[in-house]
Amino acid sequence: MEIGMLGQYLANGVMLGTMYALVAVGFTLFFGVLDVIKFSHGDVLMIGAFTGFTVYVGMAGISIENPWIMLVVLLLVSVTSTALLGSLIARYLVLPLKTAPPLNTLLITLMLGTAIRETVRLFYPDGSNPKAFPPLLPRASMDLGGFALRADSVILVVTGIAVIVGLHLLINRTRLGLAIRAVAQDEETARIMGINYTMIVLVTFGIGSGAAAFAGIMNGLYYNEVNFGMGLLLGLIGFSAAIIGGLGNLYGAILGGFLFAGLQTVGAVALPFASAYKDVFAFGVVIALMAWKPTGLIAERNSDRV
Q: How far is CA 298 from CA 72, 235, 249, 283, in A?
A: 35, 21, 7, 19
pLDDT, residue 272, reads 63
Residues whose CB is less than 8 angstroms from the CB of residue 72 and which lie 6 or more positions away in sequence, other chains included: none
Residue 229 phi, psi dihedral angles, 5° rounding: -100, 5
pLDDT, residue 100, reads 86
Q: pLDDT tens for the chain, 306 residues: list them.
A: 566 667 777 888 899 999 999 999 999 999 988 888 899 999 999 999 999 999 999 999 998 989 999 999 999 999 999 999 999 999 999 999 988 888 898 899 999 999 999 999 999 999 999 999 999 998 888 776 667 778 888 999 999 999 999 999 999 999 999 999 999 888 899 999 899 999 999 999 999 999 999 999 999 999 999 999 999 999 999 999 999 988 888 889 999 999 999 998 888 777 666 566 788 888 998 999 888 888 777 765 544 555
CB 197 within 8 A of CB 143: no
Rounded Cα gap, residues 298 and 255, in angstroms:
9
pLDDT, residue 302, reads 46
Rounded Cα gap, residues 51 and 77, in angstroms:
8
pTM value is: 0.92
pLDDT, residue 274, reads 55
Rounded Cα gap, residues 109 and 45, in angstroms:
14
pLDDT, residue 306, reads 57
